[in-house]
Chains A and B, each alone.
Chain A
Amino acid sequence: MLAEVGFIATLLAFVAAGYAIVASILGARRRSERLVLSARNAALLVFPLLLAASGALLIGLTGGRYEISYVWQVTNPSTPSFYRFTALWGSQQGSLLFWNLIMSAFSAAALLLNWHSHRRLMPYVIAYTMATQAFFLALVVFLENPFTRYWATPAGQVIESVFMPAGARAPDPRILAESARGLNPLLRHFGMIIHPPMLYLGFTGFVIPFAFAMAALASGDLSTGWIKATRRWSLVAWLFLGLGLLLGGRWAYDVLGWGGYWGWDPVENAAFLPWLIGTAFIHSVMIQEKRGMLKVWNMFLVIFTFSAVIFGTFATRSGLISSVHSFAQSEIGFPMFAFWAVVTLVSVGLLLWRWNRGELRGEHAFTSLLGREALFVLNNAIFIALFFAIFWGSFGAPILSELFLNTNITLGADYFLQVTPPLFIALYLLMGIAPLSAWSATSLRRLGRALVVPALVTVVFVVVMFVTGTRSAGALFGYGVVAFAGIVALYEIYRGARARREGLHESWLRAVTALFARNRRRYGGYIVHLGITVIGIGVIGSTLFQSETQQTLARGESLALAGYTMRYDDLTFATGEDGRNMTIADVTVSRDGQAIDRLRPRQDLYPEMPMTIAGATSPFPGVDDFYVLLSGWSEDGSTATFKVYFNPLINLVWWGGLLLIAGTLVAAWKDEPLPARASARGRVAGSAEGVA
């Protein structure tokens, strides 16, 4: 029953999405309100149907229904209930269904929340979201079905099918349970539990701005309506994507045991690419809202953000590129590639058509190289340059060399470490300068005056870093540039609060809170800048100053690294809840003779799979991390071998991530309603714009 319910619900969702596409397009062309409403209802039905389908699969997973092949593959009787739940996205088929569920939730929310405010765009929004949805549902229904079951044929073979084939019978559930495989041990980690859903939320979330942009192009309503409607959606998707990337890094750091968090692996890059264009987009839409410029450019950015999302999904799931992440080599590669190509070509074609008709002309021209508009454009250019550099390194060079040079050339981490730092430095500089420049035109002198205080504070910061022991000129330069961006953000908040304090005689606390409440987007943005600064300092410190050692220690012996000593105390053995055999070392880390922390590095051996995982260490107090891997031991535990990394400032990467979340939430929070008269006037203006 369960498998049938799940499959039929998925199939119905596919049919509903297909119907919604047809009905919405017909409704828009024939101006039929009834058809559009019918399309909307069908589109809204997709989410509950997928909820039912995912629910059915979850019941199968938690209830140990091993006749369902997906359940057999990702769980076994010793899987703890928590991981049974997360197994929903533990492998290709389930994660595709889950991806669909999240996307349908976004579509439903956007339809419900924006229905009245952007009525003219809605039929096309339905068509575009549902076209994407229908494609991904088709993958689930026809190619990667999580609801197939195992059946034993009279000939003694086992086959997979959703419905019972004639003459077949269900295999013995006991045998199925005994042979079931279980979740990939690498995926049993906190970061892996949240990382995929966050990434999916980020990826699928961008379908909403994309659909609104396409709706604007298709309907001819090219006012800023689509941007106003999607501002928050973009921020939410952008936040989740960023979180997904951070959690992925955290997972790699904790589980993969090589002492780092970002390896410039093609699949990591594939998820980073939409983030880069998405970031360019959320900056440059501000120019369109404020000045009516860059209309074509913004369309281009939103199209390519979504295109990069689809490409990233394709790269991750098709096994296009050799990578630790290629967890699935499968038949969905070609359809996904075709979908990506079609989406990109159709959208760009639509954009060029409108552009050619002269409907996307800017309302102002650029007047100054130092005006905020120009600096934003420069910021966009750098983001796009980063995008191309990373795309070329991960996909362009390997694919082109294979196609045209008959050899396969790949670009390793060296390439990325050489090409990206100058671009990141340029971004941080702009992040510092742009907030201080004025709209349309700033004279060099005025900009210079605004820069004095932040520049001085930056110099002080660099001197402090020098005095506390950083001697490398490159590192000091990097710290300075990165810190400058954050210092400007803090300075701007301070300036705003000081002005309120002097003008309105408010207390500091009141001035700051009022400042944020009045202009959430701007000051939330500064908090995000601050978060990016903190991350940048962590990245520089941990990349340039990582130190490592490896030693075999007898019980009671110590090793020294970066001013710390680590003593090997004891070795114990234990069995985990999911049946893993753990070998745990107890070590004490001290500095200047004082014990700071006790760490328990361990190795896990999974009996059902010949796989061991060298778990890293518990969180280390402070900004630095002492990262210990247990690599070997004598049977009686008298000696043990450790690989130890000292990663300075690395915890700033995670703390910066928290600031990033907080800032984005502030920026995306609903503004306080305007006074009644102002908002009424706004509405009249808006509708006049819509008619024109």
Chain B
Amino acid sequence: MATQASWEKGASGTKIRAVKRGGERLKFMIGGLLILGAVAFLIVSGTLAGAQYFITVDDMLSNERYAGETVRISGVVLGDSIRYDSQNLVIDFTIANIPSQFDDLATALRDAATDPNATRMPVRVEGQVKPDLLQHEAQAILTGSLGDDGVFYATELLLKCPSRFIEGGPEQVAAQADA
């Protein structure tokens, strides 16, 4: 923007302009810094207020620091354990640990659901209609905290079931027919 000043005619004019432009520039810079500061403050304070650990069932049960904290937790739903009281809108089910490293989510979910040694944790969700996707081998992502009774009280329940729609083909059916 300094180059703009030299476009003005006459040496004295240039000087006056340059000073004025300098003042304008300072104003813009201060304004910009104020905005930047305000936005940074918003984001930092929001992050501090809204941050939640996103952990596995193993993390939850093996580490003291998560007890009583609001966390997000991921686990696989065990279909047999789902109990839904439609009168009072209480959903109870159990989730099992999904290892944090895996190649393919669908396989990891299936393995976790069938592994008898996987850590399990009971979950309760209150005040919600049973979601459509709550079913065996679905991945549940829960927000809430662990109660003293060892039950995880979730206020938010997000479900994914990749295995239903994406994976697999007609192998079994066709193979059976061939036999």
Q: Which residues of A contact B (CB under 8 A)?
A: 69, 72-73, 91-92, 150, 152, 156-158, 160, 171-172, 175-176, 178-181, 184-186, 257-258, 319, 322-324, 326-329, 361, 365-369, 374, 378, 381-382, 385, 388-389, 392-393, 397-398, 407-416, 418-419, 422-423, 550, 552, 609-614, 629, 631-633, 641, 643
* Given A389-B46, A411-B47, A643-B89, A178:B173 Cβ within 8 A: yes
Residues of A within 8 A of B135 (CB): 610-611
A370 CB to nearest chain B CB (Å): 11
Would A411 and B129 count as touching, CB distance under 8 A?
Answer: no
CB <8 Å contact, B179 and A156 = yes
Contact between A72 and B46, CB atoms less than 8 A apart: no
A415 near B49: Cβ-Cβ < 8 Å? yes
Chain A positions within 8 Å of B177 at CB level = 171-172, 175
B170 lies within 8 A of chain A by Cβ: yes
Q: Is the CB of B174 within 8 A of A158?
A: yes
Give A323 to B31 CA distance when docked, in angstroms.
Answer: 38
Given A550-B89, A550-B127, A610-B135, is A327 in contact with B166 using a C-beta cutoff of 8 Å? yes
11 residue pairs of the A-B complex, CB under 8 angstroms, read: A156-B179, A158-B169, A258-B128, A327-B166, A329-B166, A388-B39, A410-B72, A415-B51, A416-B46, A419-B42, A611-B164
Residues in B neighbouring A92, C-beta threshold 8 A: 166
Which chain A residues border B42 with CB–CB below 8 Å? 389, 418-419, 422-423
CA distance A415 to B72 in the complex (A): 14
B100 to A: closest C-beta gap in Å: 9
B170 touches A175 (CB 8 A): yes
Contact A69-B24, Cβ < 8 Å, known A389-B46, A631-B89: no
Contact of B52 among A150, A158, A322, A412 (CB under 8 A): A412
Cβ–Cβ contact B174 & A407, under 8 A: no
- Contact call A397/B129, Cβ cutoff below 8 A: no
Instruction: Bin chain B's interface residue count.
Output: 35 or more
Contact, CB under 8 Å: A326 / B87: no
Q: Find chain B residues with CB under 8 A from A326 CB.
A: 160, 162
Interface assignment of B74: CB less than 8 Å from any CB of chain A: yes
Any A CB within 8 A of the CB of B124:
no
Bound Cα distance from A257 to B159, whole angstroms: 14
Contact among B4, B28, B53 with A407 in the assembled complex (CB-CB below 8 Å): B53
A157 is contacted by which of B52, B164, B175 (Cβ under 8 Å)? Answer: B175
Q: Which residues of A contact B156 (CB under 8 A)?
A: 412
**A258 nearest CB neighbor, chain B only:** B128
Task: Identify which of B50, B53, B84 contacts A414 (C-beta below 8 A).
Answer: B50
Measured in the bound complex, the distance between the Cα atoms of B141 and A398 in whole Å is: 15
Closest to B56 in A: A408
A179, A327, A419, A612: most-surrounded residue (chain B CB, <10 A): A419
> Which residues of A have CB within 8 Å of B164?
184, 609, 611
Q: How far is the CB of B24 from chain A (nearest CB, A)?
A: 7
Known: A158-B171, A365-B21. A415 touches B132 (CB 8 A): no
Within the complex, the shortest CB–CB distance from B36 to chain A, in Å, comes to 8
Q: For the complex, give the distance between the alpha carbons of A643 and B165 in Å.
A: 29
Distance from A143 Cβ to chain B, minimum over Cβ atoms (Å): 14
CB-CB < 8 A to B175: which residues of A? 156-158
Task: Out of A412, A419, A611, name the residue touching B133 (CB < 8 Å).
Answer: A611
**Contact indicator B47/A181 (Cβ below 8 Å):** no
Q: Which of B31, B50, B89 contacts A369 (CB 8 A)?
A: B31
Which of B53, B106, B129 is within 8 Å of A629, CB to CB? Answer: B129
| Contact (Cβ within 8 A) A392 B28 | no
A374 to B51, CA, bound (A): 35
Most A Cβ at <10 Å: residue of B86, B104, B128, B129: B129
Return the contact of B53 from the options A175, A374, A382, A408 (Cβ within 8 A).
A408
Q: Are A176 and B166 in contact (CB under 8 A)?
A: no
Number of A-B contacts (CB under 8 A): 180
Docked complex Cα distance between A225 and B179 (Å): 68
| Nearest-neighbor residue (CB-CB) of B136 within chain A | A610
**CB contact between A418 and one of B45, B160, B174 (< 8 Å): that residue:** B45
A156 to B45, CA, bound (A): 61
Contact A393–B50 (Cβ < 8 Å): yes
Instruction: Tell me, in angstroms, the Cα distance from A367 to B87 when the chains sit together.
Output: 67
Q: Flag if A412 contacts B87 (CB, 8 Å).
A: no
Q: How far is the CA of A609 from the CA of B159 in the complex (A)?
A: 16
Please give me the residue from chain B that is nearest to A178 by CB atom. Answer: B173
Contacts of B45 in A (CB 8 A): 418
CA distance in complex: A409, B72 (Å)? 9
With A415-B50, A611-B133, A631-B86 in contact, do A389 and B39 touch (Cβ < 8 Å)?
yes
Given A365-B4, A392-B47: A72 in contact with B169 (beta carbons within 8 A): yes
- Return chain A residues, CB-CB under 8 Å to B31: 369
- List of A residues within 8 angstroms of B129 by Cβ: 257, 614, 629, 631, 643
Query: Are the CB atoms of A176 and B174 closer together than 8 Å?
Result: yes
Contact A632 B54 (CB under 8 A): no
**Chain B, 8-44, contact with A by CB distance < 8 Å: what is the 0/1 string?**
0000000000000100100110011001001100110
State how many angstroms separate the Cβ of B44 from the closest Cβ of chain A.
Answer: 10
Report the bound CA distance from A501 to B102 in whole Å: 71
Q: Residue of B at shortest CB range from A641?
A: B86
Which 4 pairs across A and B sit closest by C-beta, in order of nearness? A632-B86, A415-B50, A419-B46, A408-B54
Per the bound structure, the CA–CA distance linking A516 and B85 in Å amounts to 59
Q: Which of B58-98 contact A (CB under 8 A)?
A: 72, 74, 84, 86-87, 89
**Contact, CB under 8 Å: A411 / B105:** no
Task: Give Cα A361 to B7, complex, Å.
Answer: 13
B178 an interface residue at 8 Å Cβ cutoff?
yes
Question: B110: CB under 8 A from chain A?
Answer: no
Q: How far is the CA of A229 from the CA of B46 in the complex (A)?
A: 41
A502 to B46, CA, bound (A): 52
From known contacts A366-B28, A419-B43, infer whether A184 and B165 are also in contact, taking CB-CB under 8 Å: yes
Q: Establish whether residues A181 and B165, one from each chain, have CB atoms under 8 Å apart when the complex forms.
A: yes
CB distance from A473 to the nearest CB of B (A): 21
Contacts of B133 in A (CB 8 A): 611
B52 in contact with A641 (CB, 8 Å): no
Among B46, B47, B162, point to the contact of A329 (Cβ < 8 A).
Answer: B162
Residue of A365, A392, A614 near B43 (CB, 8 A) is: A392
With A69-B169, A366-B28, A411-B51 as contacts: A613 and B104 at CB distance below 8 Å: no
B55 within 8 Å of A (CB atoms): yes
- CB-contact partner of A179 in B54, B106, B170, B178, under 8 A: B170
Give 14 A-B pairs besides A382-B35, A407-B54 with Cβ atoms closer than 8 angstroms: A150-B169, A150-B174, A156-B178, A158-B174, A171-B177, A176-B170, A179-B170, A323-B160, A327-B165, A361-B3, A389-B39, A398-B54, A409-B51, A422-B42
B143 and A412 contacting across the interface, CB-CB below 8 Å: yes
Asked whether B162 lies within 8 Å of A186 as measured between CB atoms, the reply is: no
Chain B, Cβ-Cβ closest to A326: B160
Q: A422–B55 Cα gap in the complex (Å)?
A: 31
Q: A184-B165, A329-B162, A412-B72 are in contact. Are A319 and B105 (CB under 8 A)?
A: yes
* Distance to closest chain B CB from A69 (angstroms): 6
* Min C-beta distance of B123 to chain A, whole Å: 17
Residue numbers in B under 8 Å from A181 (CB-CB): 165
A374 to B28, CA, bound (A): 9
Minimal beta-carbon separation of A645 from chain B (angstroms) = 11
Q: Which residues of chain A have C-beta atoms less than 8 A from B53's C-beta?
A: 407-409
List A contacts of B21 (CB < 8 A).
Answer: 365
